Amino acid sequence: MALLRDKVVLVNGGSQGVGAGIVRAALREGATVAFTGRRTEIGEKLAADTGAVFLRADLTDAAQVRGVVEQVVTAHGRVDSLVNAAGLTSRGSLLDTSPELFDAHIAINLRAPFFAMQAVVEHLVGRGAPGTIVNIGSNCAHGGPPYLAPYSAAKAGLAGLTRNAAHAHRWDRIRINDLNIGWTETEGEDAIQREFHDAGDDWRERAAERLPMGKLGQVDEIADFVIFLLSDRSGVVTGSVIDWDQNVQGASD
């Protein structure tokens, strides 16, 4: 049986990468899916390829974040599940991060999920209905490399927000979890490696040689895990911040 049959799912940041993988997986599992993105051409192509609904939105604008939820409710009558998959990974250390870069990371990686959750939870509570939310976090929430200082700060905040919201709304039967993903093979990561790390065409192979499982994290594997957390198959789990990675945080040789 399809895991999300007859559910309405909103994926923020669903145009490409992990978000697009989640869009495809949710559709496969029977959901009606709407997703947001900034770039119209990419979003409309995914919508045409899959049958999902593309909603262009600037997630740095809290009013647009909330407005997207209203659009989905107007079009489909409800929202049952939310995935916050949008992410900014521009590099910056403690010493070279400008206020503008810091604010951009907070806006996309923390503030947007906050107000998307606010709008969806308000809707679910108003309906008296259960629901599920998954936030795509990062193992950088544990500290991260020096060149991802604002990103790590925002993702640590997202982990705390997940726990807080899950606790606050457990009696509403709204389950909220966070998936801290590790190094993942996406179009965006390819661009980042080339722009900030002078990577060549063989960067994936070189990275795989340094990783325990011999490969980068894969979008389809992450998407399947997210679908599990959105679905009833994940049972009562809420407030969990799950490390989805091949390196064990806190361990050392």
Indicate which residues carry an active-site annotation.
151
Kindly report the length of the chain: 253
Cβ(56)–Cβ(37) below 8 Å: yes
What backbone torsions phi and psi does residue 241 show, to the nearest 5 degrees? Answer: -115, 105
Cβ(175)–Cβ(237) below 8 Å: yes
